[in-house]
Amino acid sequence: MSSVLYDAPGPRARRNTLIGTVIAVVLLAGLVVLAVIQLGENGQLDGEKWGPAFNPANQYFVATWSALGDGLVNTVVAAALTLVLALAIGTALAVARITSSRAYRWLVVSAIELFRGLPVVITIFLAARVLPEFGISLPPLWYLVIGLTAYNCVIIAEIVRAGVNALPRGQSEAAYAVGLTRFQVLRIILLPQAFRIMLPALISQLVVIVKDTSLGFVIFGFSEFVRTANTVIQFFGGQEGINLPLQMYIAVALVFILINYALSKLAEYVQRRTSRAGRAARNKDAAPPAELAPVGVGGAVT
Amino acid sequence: MDALIAEFPRFVSGFLGTLRLCLFAAIGALVLGTLLAAFRVSPVPPLRWVGTSWVTVFRNSPLVVVLFLFAFGLPQVGVVFPTFGGNSFFWPGVAGLAAYTAAFVCEAVRSGINSVPAGQAEAARAVGLTFQQTLGSVVLPQALRTVVPPLGSVMIAMIKNSAIVGAFGVTGELFSVDGALTAAGYSALSSLGGVALAYLAITIPAGIGLGVLERKIEVKR
């Protein structure tokens, strides 16, 4: 492979790479063997521990996954509601930031900075604990959705703003020239185009939202995926005397990895498609800004 | 805000607790992440697989699940973390947070290295610099400048994520201050509001500082 660090390898470099590969494979195989021995010594390889989550023939398999399935549905519902709400509020915030006059733009900016600086788990906890103090009592799902939306809408607002700013200036100049108002320019000309280049960044943000729904475990009475898994673990620990936290959390992690990996691939695919199709329409040199890179470091870091 | 004034010492100790937790986790994440990035750009395929799988696994699973695995899963296989001042959740929390953040550090470092145009290193080799010279005086100085801004946002995200460690077990950091204050009878608004302000006191200055740093070291290409 040739990168900034290496030229195309010659015979000697190829031989060194081969030696390195053999050594690395031996070391990795050794690590795997060690891990398996460690697992076996602690009785973690027993069928009764892995069965409930991984073996369809196990007597508990169906019951375990129907419970986990209910939790997963709650997780997906929370993520979907959050995405819709955050998209709506985030777009409104971005429009407010772009169109508002300097006199009160600082208000929008400081709201965005405020919520961006808070840990999501705090916004969720704030929603779940402070709203009831003001006499607003909602189903637990909504505390999670409100907490997640409070954080994610400002992130989406920043994504939308970056998307609008990335458009060539000629787009809005032409729109103003034909006599559209400021709001019409945004609604008819800028936002539709911005959403197109924003799509990969939005999908990456969805990965963050899906991951963060697991923070719902701090809200009592809401059985999302992780809390359901905890309940299942407690059931097996108490009722059946089988301790399987390791196996159950691995199963939970695998489901999350599958969902999020698929979403990240989708984001990359959309990114490739839009950058190909949009090249003719947009300015040749106008690469999307760093914030809009698909699964890039600037976009989704939590 | 009455809790913030009346219980100020508790907030200060929670603040320091968060900084301590984050310091350990940051060291772990930076070392491990840089190592993984080196794996991911190495010419040896098995090392690249290790780096890629680490990033795929930890970037796509929620931190909560990672923390549960470190705190309750690993003891099942005989990996028991020492306690920290009588606190059994501290080291699993640090380890989980570091392992999770390392995946993001790895991606930041790797994209930094890849952002250096190949022509730079080719030119360096063409004038006869050795591999070490090319890396040390041409590639790395440029890569570091592009790495700093994303690395900074990863670190700020990590500070915010440290609240999750506090949410799942008492580790003496900021978020666990809220639990203590609620137990002492303060309203959620005053205790959580104080905790939220304390987090903002870390993240907002960090964000501003990062912005200043970013403008200072920006590479004009």
> DSSP secondary structure string, A147-195?
HHHHHHHHHHHHHHHHHHHHS-HHHHHHHHHTT--HHHIIIIIIHHHHH
Q: B179 burial class (0-12, 13-18, 19+ CB within 10 angstroms)?
A: middle
- Residue reference for tokens 């999350």: A256
Name the amino acid, one letter, at A176. Answer: Y
Strand, helix or coil for residue A297:
coil
Closest CB from B45, B150, B189 relative to A133:
B189
**Considering only alpha carbons, which residue of chain B is nearest residue A112?**
B204
Chain A (245-264) residues lying within 8 Å, Cβ to Cβ, of chain B: 245-246, 249-250, 252-253, 256-257, 259-261, 264
Contacts of A298 in chain B (CB under 8 A): 149-150, 153
Residue B112, number of CB atoms within 10 A of its CB: 23
User: B33 pLDDT exceeds 80?
Assistant: yes
Q: How far is A189 from chain B (nearest CA, A)?
A: 31
Q: How far is B84 from chain A (nearest CA, A)?
A: 23
Which string of DSSP letters, residue by residue, matches A198-251? HHHHHHHHHHHHHHHGGGGGGSTT---HHHHHHHHHHHIIIII----HHHHHHH
- The amino acid present at A72, given as its one-letter code, is L
Angstroms from B12 CA to nearest CA on chain A: 18
Quote the distance between the C-alpha of residue B207 and its chain's center. Answer: 14
State whether residue A125 sits within 8 Å of chain B by CB.
yes
**Rounded distance between C-alpha atoms, residue A12 and residue A7, angstroms:** 13
For B107, which of A2, A260, A297 is closest by C-beta distance?
A297
| pLDDT of residue A288 exceeding 60 | no
pLDDT (mean) for A232-260: 85
pTM of the prediction? 0.86
Q: Which of A39, A120, A133 sits opposite B77 (nearest CB)?
A: A39
Over range B67-96, report the average pLDDT.
83
Q: SS3 string of A236-257?
A: HHHHHCCCCHHHHHHHHHHHHH
For residues B7 and B53, the model is more confident at B53
**Residues in Cβ contact with B142 at an 8 Å cutoff, skipping those fewer than 6 apart:** B115, B116, B120, B219
> CA B147 to CA B162: how far, in whole Å?
22
Q: What is the mean pLDDT of residues A44-62?
A: 76
Residues of A in contact with B47 (CB under 8 A): 20, 24
Q: How far apart, in whole angstroms, are the C-alpha atoms of residue A206 and residue A87?
A: 11
Contact A120, A215 (CB under 8 A): yes
- Distance (Å) from the alpha carbon of B134 to chain A's nearest alpha carbon: 8
Overall average pLDDT of the A228-254 stretch: 83
Q: Coil, strand, or helix at residue B216?
A: helix
Residue spans of beta strands (DSSP E) within chain A: none
Query: Does A55 score more than 80 pLDDT?
Result: no
Q: Are A97 and A108 in contact (CB under 8 A)?
A: yes
Nearest to A118 among B46, B157, B196 (CB): B196
For A125-164, the pLDDT digits (tens) are 888 888 888 888 888 888 899 999 999 999 999 999 989 9
Q: Do B61 and A298 touch (CB under 8 A)?
A: no
Give the one of A226, A230, A256 whose C-beta lies nearest to B60's C-beta.
A256
Terminal alpha carbon distance of chain A: 31
Region B174-179: what's the mean pLDDT? 78
Residues of A in contact with B113 (CB under 8 A): 4-5
Cβ contact A250–B68 (<8 Å):
no
Strand partners, A292: none
The rounded percent of chain A whose pLDDT value lies above 70 is: 89
On the question of pLDDT at B171 being above 80, the answer is no
Mean pLDDT of B68-72: 88
Q: Of A301, A209, A153, give the one whose Cα is nearest residue B210.
A: A301
In a domain, B58, yes or no: yes
Residue B47 has pLDDT above 70, yes or no: yes
Q: Report residue A277's pLDDT band, with 50, 70 and 90 as the boundaries.
A: low
Task: Classify residue B128: in a domain, yes or no.
Answer: no
Nearest to A211 by CA among B57, B204, B51, B26: B57
pLDDT at B15 over 80: yes
d(Cα B152, Cα B169) in Å, to the nearest integer?
A: 26
**Local structure of residue A6 (DSSP, 8 states):** -
Q: In the predicted model, is pLDDT for residue B219 greater than 80?
A: no
Enumerate the residues of chain A whose CB falls inside 8 A of the CB of residue B154. 297, 301
- Tell me, yes or no, if A31 comes closer than 8 A to chain B by beta carbon: no
If you average pLDDT over residues B168-185, what whole number do you get? Answer: 75
Arithmetic mean of pLDDT, B185-214: 86
Q: Are A171 and A189 in contact (CB under 8 A)?
A: yes
Please answer yes or no on whether A17 and B41 come within 8 Å at the CB atom: no
Q: How sure is the predictor about A294, in pLDDT bands with cuts at 50, 70 and 90?
A: very low
A217 in contact with B, Cβ within 8 Å: yes
Does the distance separating the beta carbons of A1 and B72 come in below 8 Å?
A: no
Among A200-204, A264-268, B6-10, B190-194, the range scoring the smallest mean pLDDT is: B6-10
- Domain A64-292 is classified in which CATH homologous superfamily? MetI-like (1.10.3720.10)
A297: CB partners within 8 A, 6+ apart? B104, B107, B108, B111, B150, B153, B154
What pLDDT is stored for residue B1 in this prediction? Answer: 59
Is a pLDDT exceeding 70 seen at residue B14?
yes
Interchain proximity B164–A38, CB inside 8 Å: no
pLDDT band at B18 (very low <50, low <70, confident <90, very high): confident
Q: Per-residue confidence at B102, pLDDT binned at 50, 70, 90?
A: very high
Q: Cα distance from B85 to chain A (closest Cα, Å)?
A: 25
What is the chain B residue with the closest CA to A36? B77
Residue with the bigger pLDDT between A9 and A188: it is A188
Question: How many domains does chain B fold into?
Answer: 1
Scanning A221-250 for CB atoms below 8 A from B yields 226, 230, 243, 245-246, 249-250
Interface check A285 vs B, CB under 8 A: no
Q: Is residue B21 part of a domain?
A: yes
User: Which residues, 6 or more positions from A70, have their beta carbon under 8 angstroms from its beta carbon?
Assistant: A223, A228
Which residue shows structure tokens 């719902």? A216
All residues at 6 or more sequence positions from A165 whose CB lies less than 8 Å from its CB, including other chains: A289
| Better pLDDT: B179 or A78 | A78
pLDDT of the residue at A278: 55
Instruction: Give the CATH number of the domain where residue B110 resides.
Output: 1.10.3720.10
Q: Rounded CA gap, A60 and A221, in Å? A: 24
Q: pLDDT category, A284, cuts 50, 70, 90? A: very low
More confidently predicted of B190 and B212: B212
Domain extent, residue B212, equals: 2-116+145-217
**How far apart (Å, rounded) are the C-alpha atoms in residues A49 and A259?**
24
Task: Round the average pLDDT of chain A to a whole number and report it.
Answer: 83
Indicate if ipTM > 0.90: no
* pLDDT 10s digits, A87-116: 999 999 998 888 877 878 888 888 888 888
Name the residue among A75, A110, A118, A117 with its Cα closest to residue A93: A110
- 3-class SS letters over B123-147: HHHHCCCCHHHHHHHHHHHHHHHHH
Which pLDDT score, from 0 to 100, does residue A299 have?
A: 42
